[in-house]
Amino acid sequence: MKRFLIVFTLILLFVALGTDTWAQCAMCRGSVESSMGNGRNNVGVGLNTGIMYLFVMPYLLVAGIAYFWYRNSKRARDERQFVTSRVKQAFQH
């Protein structure tokens, strides 16, 4: 669990702090360049934020599903081990 949180935090920091990840598609770039010619800079910032939001959300969803799957499988494994130990204990006496 601790290792998972460390890896997840490192990936999140890598994505959030990566300066090269603030790229744009060709149509978005054209829109930003035309709005920059009109003197508005907030369009580019909004597009970059939207692109990063759309990029990160699927990975967060997959990470959440993987975490819950891991937690439930660990709980089921612990229950199986408990039942197995009780059965062995019953046969020994």
Domains: count for the chain: 1
Report d(CA 54, CA 34) in Å as an integer: 23
Residues sharing a CB contact under 8 Å with residue 17, sequence separation 6 or more, in sequence order? none
pLDDT number for residue 66 = 93
State the pTM of this model: 0.45
Q: Which domain holds residue 11?
A: 2-92
Tell me the backbone φ, ψ of residue 24, rounded to 5 degrees.
Answer: -135, 155
Q: Could you say which DSSP state residue 25 is in? A: -
Residue type at 71 in one-letter notation? R
- pLDDT at residue 21 greater than cutoff 60: no
* Type of residue found at 36: M
> From the CB of residue 47, how many other CB atoms can be counted at a distance below 10 Å?
19
Going by pLDDT thresholds of 50, 70 and 90, the confidence category of residue 37 is low
What is the DSSP annotation of 43-65? HHHHHHHHHHHHHHHHHHHHHHH
Residue 27 has pLDDT above 80, yes or no: no
